[in-house]
Amino acid sequence: MASSNLPVDRSFESGVLNGECPGAVLPPECLWKKKKNGFALIECPQRIPCNPCATSCPAGAVRPFADINDVPRVDYEKCTGCALCVAACPGLACFVVDLTYGEDLALVKLPYEMLPVPSAGDEVDCVDRTGGVAGRGSVVGVSEPLKDHTRVVSVSVKKDIVSDVRAIRTVN
């Protein structure tokens, strides 16, 4: 669907994350590698008045906001990787990455509000932050935790692309 002939702006100012910053940090690698079910990764680097990630977390792992404009911070002692934040975030900015899924495979849980809704077993294109295909993935499960049409799609991907995959595109 992308317009292939136009230049691809990868600047932060155009909505593309390129590197860690407050509101968009990665879990500490040593904990993350061993954490069953994975950790939440939040990419919300701008202070905006919004807090459902914190108020919806059943484990209290998105630290409570002192100010509603705070950027989210994850407490990795508490995060269970349940992916409720993935379903709750109005900005679709929460993901869960489980590095323990397989030898070479990681499980990425991402928010999905498009049609068609994929099913477990489907092969999908896994795309990066500008919509470029980072690789293929296999849908492991699709849930709708809040019953509000935001699906959480769990897709297994090669470990070497986990830091790029932020959406999926169904293929026929």
Interacting residues toward another protein by CB under 8 A = 1-3, 6-9, 11, 13-17, 43-52, 55-56, 67-69, 88-93, 113-115, 127-132, 148-150, 166-167
Q: Smallest distance, Å, CB 49 to another protein?
A: 5
For 17, left (φ over 0), alpha (ψ -120 to 50), or beta? beta
Q: How far is CA 51 from CA 64, 80, 113, in A?
A: 9, 19, 20
Q: Smallest distance, Å, CB 7 to another protein?
A: 7
Separation CA 2–CA 128 (nearest Å)? 12
Residue placing its CB nearer to another protein in the complex, 52 or 135: 52
Q: Tell the burial category of 153 from Cβ atoms under 10 Å away from its Cβ (0-12, 13-18, 19+).
A: buried
Residue placing its CB nearer to another protein in the complex, 46 or 138: 46
Q: Smallest distance, Å, CB 38 to another protein?
A: 19
Residue placing its CB nearer to another protein in the complex, 106 or 168: 168
Q: Using only C-alpha atoms, what is the Rg of the chain?
A: 15
